[in-house]
Amino acid sequence: MIKAMIFDLDGTLVQTEKLKALSYARAAVELCPAGVELFPVEISEEQVVEAFKDVVGLSRREVATHLVSRFGLEETASARMDEFGVSAPWQAFVQVRLQLYQNMIGDPNVLRRNRWPHNMALLEEARRTNCKVGLATMSHCDQVQRVLEILDLKESFGFVATRDDVERAKPDPEIYLLVAGELGISPPDCLVIEDSPSGVQAAVSAGMWCIAVTTPFTRERLHQSGLLDERWIVDEPDRLPDVVRQMYEERLED
C-alpha cells in the first residue's frame, strides 16, 4: 500500500529546470561573446538549452563540466577563476550562471508563473487525504527555501531533503531513502513523482514506486531509458490523476 508520496522539485513542482537551462545558456553566451577570436562561430542560447537536456537532473558539477567541455569554455572560464576565488573552470562557469539564475528567481512572479499545476494539484490532493508527503531535490537548501516560501509550500512537507543533506546525488538512491526514513515509511510503500531519468533511477534504486511526469527537457530520454513501464510515464498532464489512481489500485492488489 502507498503510504507516502515524495516529490522532486525542479521540473516537477515548478519549471525551474527551464529557468536553470536559460541561466546556463546565458552564462555560456557571456563567456563566449560574438567576435572573440576563440569563438569564430557564435554560440546561441538555443544550442546550450538543447545540450542541457542531456544532463538535466544531474549534479551542478556534472552539468557545468559537460557544458564547459561541450562548448569549449575552458579558457574563458579559467580567466574568471580568480574573480570568484575558485579552482576549476567549471566552478567559475557555475558562479556566472548562479548570478544570472538568482536574478531570475529574484522576481517572485517568475516562479509563480512557472508552477506545474498538475503536479501541484496532486500534492494538494495527497495532503488532503492525509498521505505523508516529502520533498527530495538536488537543489541546494537556500534556493529550495526561497522557492518554497514564494510558492507558499514551506508547511506542505513532512520532510524536505536537499543536495546539502546527502553525500551522493541522484541517480544514487540516498536522498529518497533519507526522506522515507524521516517520514517513517518503508521504501516499497512510497510513490515518487519525478521528471528526469536520474531522479527516476534514484527512486527505482531505492525500491520505490515511481511515476514520471515528463517535460520538454526530459520526455525523449525518459521514454528511451527503459527505467519505467510506459504506463507510468505521463506526457499529457490531464492523465496524471488516472495514472496515480491506477498505481494505487495495483498496489492494493499486491
Residue 250 pLDDT:
85
What are the sequence ranges of the domains in the chain? 4-15+114-253, 17-105
Residue 35 pLDDT:
45
Place of cell 495527497: 126
Residue 233 to residue 229: CA distance in whole angstroms:
7
CATH of domain 4-15+114-253: 3.40.50.1000
- Going by C-alpha positions, the residue among 113, 135, 130 that lies closest to residue 192 is 135
Residue 102 to residue 113: CA distance in whole angstroms:
16
* Model pTM score: 0.84
Residue 238 to residue 218: CA distance in whole angstroms:
18
Q: Which residues in the chain show pLDDT less than 50?
A: 35, 39-40
Residue 17 pLDDT:
84
CA angle in degrees (0–180, nearest 5) for 146-212-121? 55
Residue 92 to residue 76: CA distance in whole angstroms:
9
Q: What residue type is 184 in one-letter code? A: G
